[in-house]
Amino acid sequence: MTDKYPTLTEMGVESHSQINKYYVTSINYVDILRIAYDRPEGSLLPDTRSYKFPRVAGKAKDEQSKETTAPRMHPKLRDAIGELDKIISAHSSKETIAAEILAEIALLEEDIAFHNEAIKTLVRKIPDIEC
């Protein structure tokens, strides 16, 4: 079986389903990735983990179309962010689908309650039959 998130797995991130958000900050020439988890109550695992990535030299063009070298985001960080975006969007898609299903269940319950009352009203209209 191939791993859906090879970069994150290589970084030691295992609980993909518990990831709830991430942040990237930069200090000097180092990018810091912080991954926040939604852990179950009583879990001994940390709520956040941080990873440091040094900036790498890259080529850029300045205003006069001259090539210069400028520090760029590390390729592994770029790959990790792509995988994290997939995880976050999958969570939000699941949450949206779950919310839609719950709304449909609520409408169904209202319809059932309405029809239940209508049937009870009809039953009360049945005259008593004497034998």
pTM assigned to the model: 0.65
- For residue 30, being part of any structural domain is answered with yes
C-alpha atoms less than 13 angstroms from C-alpha of 87 in its C-beta half-sphere: 25
- For residue 119, being part of any structural domain is answered with no
- For residue 106, being part of any structural domain is answered with no
Count of domains in the chain? 1
- For residue 102, being part of any structural domain is answered with no
Q: Which residues span the domain enclosing 84?
A: 6-96
pLDDT tens column, 65-93 = 666 677 889 999 999 999 999 999 888 77
- For residue 130, being part of any structural domain is answered with no
pLDDT tens column, 82-126 = 999 999 988 877 777 887 788 889 989 999 999 999 999 988 888
What's the token pair of residue 64? 């006069």
- For residue 111, being part of any structural domain is answered with no
